[in-house]
Chain A
Amino acid sequence: GESVGLHLPTLSVQEGDNSIINCAYSNSASDYFIWYKQESGKGPQFIIDIRSNMDKRQGQRVTVLLNKTVKHLSLQIAATQPGDSAVYFCAENNERGGSEKLVFGKGTKLTVNP
């Protein structure tokens, strides 16, 4: 069945370091993979998405990598800042399956130490 999960529940980095957050997924039919950031007491905030026919996409300070062979997704954050501290979720959408919903993983809590 559909499932999206994360390898690590927590990640602690020093300010200025690069962060890598990983995600494993099982639904090979998914069309889009999306990373969301959620700060305490707030709703998830979109970071970046990648279509299933791509293997890399870059945004501002963030890069998402998709490895369909091993069904693995990662989010790389360059020069991590204290404001990056949050819980990060990967999510997937299966457009071809007629689904409009997002299926979320459990999340990784990123802590940036000054």
Chain B
Amino acid sequence: GAGVSQTPSNKVTEKGKYVELRCDPISGHTALYWYRQSLGQGPEFLIYFQGTGAADDSGLPNDRFFAVRPEGSVSTLKIQRTERGDSAVYLCASSLTPTGRGGYNEQFFGPGTRLTVL
């Protein structure tokens, strides 16, 4: 079946520009997560949605980062005034129910969007 998909797969932008990264979770998955992975590092948590609401946005590095999930399915990660330090792979994951509720619920990851800020 279809897994988590992310578009675009690659995005090159200039410093100061605005970018949007899209995530299509597995159909029926209520929980959606965004992570950021720098070269040679493990993924770092950014934000978690349960349904339409952002239940935990503690990982967003600053107010230039924002994410939405208006209909409880597709999510968009938005980055304003991009900086070179934002260059990374942005990973999206989804799980059927929130991870950890009544047992570990696997987070299924998409292939990521590689963002390069010049």
Interface of A with B (CB < 8 Å)? 4, 31-32, 34, 36, 41-46, 49, 51, 89, 91, 93-95, 99-107
Contacts and interface: CB of A to CB of B under 8 A. Distances in A.
Rank and list the top 10 A-B pairs by shortest CB-CB distance, nearest first: A104-B42, A95-B100, A43-B109, A101-B45, A32-B104, A49-B104, A44-B109, A100-B98, A100-B48, A46-B106
Contacts of A100: 31, 33, 48, 50, 55-56, 98-100
Which range holds the interface residue count of chain B? 20 to 34
A43 B44 CA distance: 13
Contacts, number: 73
A38 to B, nearest CB: 8
B104 A45 contact: no
A89 B110 CA distance: 16
A99 B56 contact: yes
A100 to B, nearest CB: 5
Nearest to B93: A43
A100 B106 CA distance: 11
Contacts of A44: 43, 91, 109
B62 interface: no
Nearest to A9: B40
A107 B39 CA distance: 11
